[in-house]
Amino acid sequence: MSTHDRLHALDAVRAFALLLGVVFHAGFSFLPGLIPGIWAMTDTSPSTAIGVLLFTSHIFRMSLFFFVAGFFGHLLFHRRGARGFWADRCKRILVPLVGGWVVLFPAIAAVWIWGITKTFDGKLPAPPANLPPPPPGAFPLTHLWFLYVLLLLYVLVVVARSAVAAIDRRGSLRCVLDAVVRGAVETGAIVVLLPIPAVAALYARPDWIAWFGIPTPDQSLIPHLASLAAYGTAVSFGWLVHRQIDLLNVWRRQWPALLAVAIAATVICLSLVGSAPAFVPFAPGLRKLGYACSYGVAIWCWSFGIVGAAMRFMSQPNAAVRYVSDASYWIYLAHLPIVAAFQVLVGRLPWHWSVKFPIVLAASMLVLLTSYHYLVRSTFVGQLLNGRKYPRTPQRPASSGSRSDSGGTSGDSRVDPPAEHLAVLEDVHKRYGKTVALAGLSLDVRRGELLAVLGPNGAGKSTAISLWLGLLQPDAGRVRLLGGSPEDVETRRHIGVMMQEVGLTPELRVRELIELTAGYYPSPLSLPDTLALTRLEALADRPYARLSAGQKRQVQFALAICGRPALLFLDEPTVGLDVDARETMWRTIRELVSQGCSVVLTTHYLEEAEALADRVMVLANGRLIAGGTVAEIRSVVSRKQITCSTTLEPRDVERWPGVLAVTRGLRHLQITANDAEAVVRRLLAADERVGDLEVRQAGLAEAFTALTKEAA
Amino acid sequence: MSALHGMTAAALVDQQVAVPMRLGRVVRAYAQEAAYEALRMLRAPAFSIGLLVVPIPVYLFFGVILSAPAIAKNPGIGSYLFSGFSTFAIMGPALFGVGCTLALEREAGLLKLKRAWPAPGGAYLIAKMATAVVFAVLLMILMVSTAVLTGKANLTAAQFLALSLALIAASVPFAAIGLFIGAYSSGSAAPAFANIAYLPQLWLSGLFFPLPKFIEPWAVIWPAFHANQVALGAAGVREFMFVPTLLSIGVLAGITVLFGGLAIRRLARHG
């Protein structure tokens, strides 16, 4: 079992705890003995069954949530460090807390006013005369209190952690702590030890409404002691368990026993308080103590039993579970006004609760899931809540498209007065801050040629192209484009551009993108011609977002050529294309060149330059280090590649005169030399058993590697 | 010359470098850019549902159902709430639609590509503003229809028209703020900034309910307050006109120039 499996299970547990909260609130109006005015609606058909369900789920749902939050907190803290931890927690807890409250509080207040008005038949009751004074720091946190408390507890846990780390430099204290935790978990004593702080705080509380367990700290910015004790232990224990992640396996084995004890403890609690909530405090005494202890044990037996069951049954990734896990955070945040609104709607209908409760739950979930799917999952809200944004539609693999070469020729090619150099850089300097991008580069593009610009990353290729396109200004030197300035839109109407890594409007269809771009040009190709030329007919009506990476490049190429440009800039055009699509693009590029179009092409694929280029320019460190035809470049570096099988050591051969580099392959030695004949003679003399001898002209790849190495 | 697949007889290369583009085509390029921008926004459910559909039930619930008793006592409150919720409605597409898409597209390099292409100057930004206006028109049609059907706004046909036109125009300053957000923030931060520009001023402008006394004097600093005032002024709802309409128009014009100018300055330099 890998670490990942464990996280699937705990993701599901967290989602379960949150969704249980939705069920809890959806059932609230059906509680037997509910005092009108306490909740938005008091249903006309109360239910003991719902009372038992709500009582049981409320025992553990928040503690379970805080336990998982502590567990993932430790994971995050150690994966991202303190800064990353707080940045993430601010984004995913603080922002939803503040933003959610601003939106939800008015909605909740409105639904409550509506519901209570309806409960009392249009007459709002006067507030009781002797209301207790508001607690210090009073603030209606609503159900979002859990985010607030979680942030507080994270602060406390991280502070405690730093304190421990400061005192316990050698880690011996932590070893003891880990051993204690392990012992308590393996013996099962943990379910008795862990609740001690919460049980003590609850028992000490004179106004404890026992039916609702741990009092909800939603009324004040200063949480009361009982909630801090209960949820503080949950978060810290989750934090500690992640230190020894295999402890989860203990619960994986123990889950049936844990759940059995949980049910027994719950039955004891119910027998002490009844299925209907009594809104009066418990009198101190043995009965109160027994209840508090059973309640505490029930909290952790339920929690660990559920974690164990999830480990047992939900460790495998499952798309549906994953979806619900992602949705659950949004659902819990947004559910309260929606659930309450449906409760208010059905509250006075003369139907049985067994009809109304499922309706409230189903209708709320429908609204919440729909809103999640359409408004959250693939938008910034989803990005914020889930830490990632899902694409609206899954990416499709590339289709090769139909391949039929039909006839039809390209007709006229008007010849203009010769302007030999279409694009010129003259002694251009450009720096970004302290980094020198171009140091006196001169380049020119001649009419009707394909110029390939090669160079390693950071050589200055993209800067050169950006200067020609008017996207950058040179610090010194001259930039000319088609005899004018690249900043003049009139000049740019005769160039086509394909850039690296550009995101086009995802919602527009291929046909629309081409029409839009063609509209910028004075006399563009027709849409059918552009589609035919780039083999995009079959994809014309597909939204850009639903294309594969290769298809997107094809569309960008179509946009580059649709204006019938005299000069075309192609920045790494064939990255991500399959062989067919690349062949099509090459053929179209050749056709463009044959009709007099000039092309500037940067590429990493050296074979692409060899296949297409009339001239090759090699840049390194912002300078031109070599230039000429493919053949010239090769002969400038009059290097040969010698391959042979030999027993000679590469170290020795490296020292021979005329040898530039030696690499050992699986069975062969590869020697790059500028005096191949002399090297071969010496090879034969030195090793009589030399075999598989092969001498060939270095390809552009080798020439390129050698040149840029020398420049560096 | 080799035959190319499926091509009609057109040259791939236009060698008439000296011929300028006809004015008609330039105008068409502006129109097409705006039309496709609006189309893509309508196609994105996060925008079209979130920004076009959500305001209607919100108005129905808060401005009609919950406020029915108050409106029965004072019909003017119905007009005020209609204007307030309409202001809320038109702000969304302007701030989020413009701000978030601009930031994302800037980040994706689309803006750079548009600058390298011979796209006519500013067509892209004008398209963004125009889309906010188109959304405002659609929203006002929906809002007025809802108000007429429920009968709680207590405005005459002429008042509806004047108020709608005022708010459609008022979407422009918010679109300028959207441009500003989109021009300066990253794609992932833009929604957060748009929310900061949206939510607080919704509440603090007193669009939906009377403000507490200590906040009330500060309402004048929010554009939403002035948009609402212009709308109420256009419709002549005197009871709720707190500042001179001309002053509010001046403030909104100033905001448009300030934020639009800052955005253009930034985009011209960085793309």
ipTM score here? 0.88
A111 in B contact zone (CB under 8 Å): no
Phi, psi of A61 (to 5 degrees): -60, -40
pLDDT of residue B203: 86
Mean pLDDT for chain A overall? 85
CA distance A392 to chain B (A): 10
For chain B, the domain total comes to: 1
Q: pLDDT-derived band of residue B47, with 50, 70 and 90 as boundaries?
A: confident
| Average confidence (pLDDT) over A119-146 | 77
The per-residue pLDDT for A702 is: 64
Q: What is the pLDDT of residue B40?
A: 92
Q: pLDDT by residue (tens digit) across A516-560?
A: 999 999 889 999 999 998 889 999 999 999 998 889 999 999 999
Computed on alpha carbons and rounded to an integer, the radius of gyration of chain A in Å comes to 37
Nearest by CB to residue A404, choosing from B5, B21, B110, is: B5
Least confident range from A83-87, A708-712, B251-255: namely A708-712
pLDDT band at A698 (very low <50, low <70, confident <90, very high): low
Check CB contact under 8 Å for B12 and A595.
yes
Half-sphere exposure of residue A647: CA atoms within 13 angstroms, side-chain side: 5
Segment 15-44 of chain A within 8 Å of chain B by CB: none
The proportion of chain A whose per-residue pLDDT surpasses 90, expressed as a percent, equals 39
Confidence label for B160 from pLDDT (cuts 50, 70 and 90) = very high
Min Cα distance B112 → chain A (Å) is 7
Residue A425's closest CA among A497, A478, A484, A488? A478
Above 70 in pLDDT, residue A635?
Answer: no
Over residues A329-348, mean pLDDT: 94
Q: pLDDT grade, residue A408 (50/70/90)?
A: very low
The residue type of A160 is A
Whether residue A633 contacts residue A474, with contact meaning beta carbons closer than 8 Å, is answered with no
Per-residue pLDDT at A130 = 63
Q: Which segment, A36-45, A359-368, A425-434, is predicted with the most confidence on average? A: A359-368
DSSP A122-165: T-PPPPPTTPPPPPTTB---GGGHHHHHHHHHHHHHHHHHHHHH
Q: Dump pLDDT digits (tens) for A61-90.
A: 999 999 999 999 999 998 888 888 998 899
Q: Which of residues 613-652 of A touch B (CB under 8 A)?
A: none
Residues of B in contact with A595 (CB under 8 A): 1, 11-13
Spatial neighbors of B10 by CB under 8 A, at least 6 apart, are A410, A411, A525, A526, A529, A564
Nearest to B49 among A375, A469, A521 (CB): A375
**Residue-wise pLDDT tens digits, A169-201:** 888 888 889 999 999 998 889 999 999 999 999
Per-residue confidence at A704, pLDDT binned at 50, 70, 90? low
If phi > 0 it is left, if psi is from -120 to 50 it is alpha, else beta; for residue A77 that is: alpha
Do the chains contact at A408 and B195, CB–CB below 8 Å? no
B173-202, pLDDT tens digit by residue?
999 999 999 999 988 889 889 988 998 898
The residues, ordered by sequence, that sit 6+ positions from A706 with a Cβ below 8 Å of its Cβ are: A637, A639, A660, A661, A672, A698
What's the pLDDT tens digit per position in B64-81? 988 888 899 999 999 999
Whole-prediction pTM = 0.57
Residue of A543, A507, A517, A514 lying closest to A528 (CA atoms):
A514
Quickly list DSSP for A292-357.
HHHHHHHHHHHHHHHHHHHHHHS-S--HHHHHHHHHHHHHHHHHHHHHHHHHHHHHTSS--HHHHH
Q: B17–A482: do the CB atoms touch at under 8 Å? A: yes
**What is the average pLDDT across A309-319?**
85
> Distance (Å, rounded) from C-alpha A642 to C-alpha A695?
5
Check whether B213 has a pLDDT greater than 80.
no
Residue A3 reports pLDDT greater than 90 = no
**Neighboring chain B residues of A504 at a CB cutoff of 8 Å:** 108, 110
Report if residue B69 sits inside a domain. yes
**Looking at residue A414, what is its pLDDT?**
32
For domain A421-503+549-633, the CATH class is: alpha beta
* The pLDDT value given to residue B20: 67
Query: Dihedral of CA B167/B171/B172/B176: which sign?
Result: positive
Within-domain flag for B5: no
Q: Which residues of A fall within a CB distance of 8 Å from B49?
A: 374-375
Is the pLDDT at A419 greater than 80, yes or no?
no
First to last CA, chain A: 48
Per-residue burial over A368-378, b = 16 or more CB atoms within 10 Å of its CB, e = otherwise: bbebbbbbbbb
Closest partner CB to A591 (pick from B2, B6, B195): B2
Residue A604 banded pLDDT, cuts 50, 70, 90:
confident
Structure-model confidence comparison of residues B15 and A221, the more confident one: A221
Residue partners of A355: CB distance under 8 A and separation at least 6: none
- CB–CB of A566 and B6 under 8 A? no
- The answer to whether B109 touches B271, Cβ cutoff 8 Å, is no
For residues A310 and A313, give the distance between their C-alpha atoms in angstroms, rounded to a whole number.
5
Q: Is residue B9 part of a domain?
A: no
CA A517 to chain B, closest CA, distance in angstroms equals 8
Cβ atoms of A618 and A708 closer than 8 Å: yes
B66/A482 touch (CB, cutoff 8 Å), yes or no: no
Q: A522 and B14: CB-CB below 8 Å?
A: yes
Contacts of A469 in chain B (CB under 8 A): 115-116
Confidence (pLDDT) at A405: 34
When pLDDT is averaged across residues A677-681 and rounded to a whole number, the result is 85
Would you kindly state where each structural domain of chain A is located, as residue ranges?
A: 3-126+157-386, 421-503+549-633, 637-711
Residue range A684-705: mean pLDDT, rounded: 76
pLDDT band at A395 (very low <50, low <70, confident <90, very high): very low
List the 259-318 stretch of A: residues with Cβ below 8 A of B.
none
- Residue A304 — pLDDT band, cuts 50, 70, 90? very high
Position A677 scores a pLDDT of: 82
Say which residue the tokens 């693939």 belong to. Answer: A378
Highest averaged pLDDT of the listed ranges A387-391, A392-396, B223-227: B223-227
First to last CA, chain B: 40
pLDDT tens by residue, B96-125: 999 999 999 999 889 889 888 888 878 889
Q: How confident is the model at residue A398 (pLDDT cuts 50, 70, 90)?
A: very low
Closest CA to B59 of B133, B142, B160, B135: B142
The confidence band for B2, taking pLDDT boundaries of 50, 70 and 90, is very low
Residue A356 near residue A45 (C-beta atoms within 8 A): yes
Contact A408 B6 (CB under 8 A): yes
* Nearest to B43, CA basis, from A392, A525, A142: A392
Q: What local confidence, expressed as pLDDT, does residue B18 receive?
A: 54
Looking at beta carbons, which residues of chain B come within 8 Å of A571?
none
Tell me the chain B residues in contact with residue A587 when contact means C-beta distances shorter than 8 Å: 2, 4
* A492 contacts B9? CB cut-off 8 A: no
Mean pLDDT, residues A462-466 taken together: 89
Residues of A in contact with B11 (CB under 8 A): 410-414, 564, 595
Quote the mean pLDDT of chain B: 88
- Is residue A603 pLDDT above 90, yes or no? no
CB of A194 less than 8 A from some CB of B: no
- A364-382 pLDDT per residue, tens: 999 999 999 988 888 878 8
Please state the rounded mean pLDDT for residues A245-274.
91
Most A CBs within 10 A among B1, B2, B5, hence the mutation to make, goes to B5
pLDDT (average), residues A597-617: 85
Looking at mean pLDDT, say which of A352-356, B43-47, B91-95, B211-215 comes out highest. B91-95
> Which domain covers residue B63, as residue numbers?
23-270
Q: Has residue B246 got a pLDDT over 60?
A: yes
CB contact under 8 A, A532 and B115: no
Q: What is the DSSP string of B95-124?
A: IIIIHHHHHHHHHTTHHHHHHHTTPPTTHH
pLDDT for B10 equals 58
Confidence of residue A674 (pLDDT cuts 50, 70, 90): confident
Nearest-by-Cβ selection for A532 from B7, B15, B108 = B7
Q: Is B115 a domain residue?
A: yes
Contacts of B5 in chain A (CB under 8 A): 404-406, 532-533, 535
Bridge partner list, A664: A669
Angstrom CA distances, A10 to A91, A317, A548, B105, stand at 21, 11, 34, 37
Q: In whole angstroms, how far apart are CA A327 and each of A332, A343, A368, A382?
A: 9, 22, 9, 9
Order across the sheet with A421-432: list the strands: A435-446, A421-432, A476-481
Chain B residues with CB under 8 Å of A92 CB are none
Which residues in chain A have Cβ-Cβ distances shorter than 8 Å to B1?
A: 409-410, 591, 594-595
- Res A709 pLDDT > 80: no
Selecting from A410, A505, A525 the residue whose C-beta is nearest the C-beta of B40 gives A505
CA A680, CA A683: separation in Å to the nearest integer?
Answer: 5
Q: Check residue B212 and give its pLDDT.
A: 78
Task: Tell the CATH topology of A637-711.
Answer: Alpha-Beta Plaits (3.30.70)
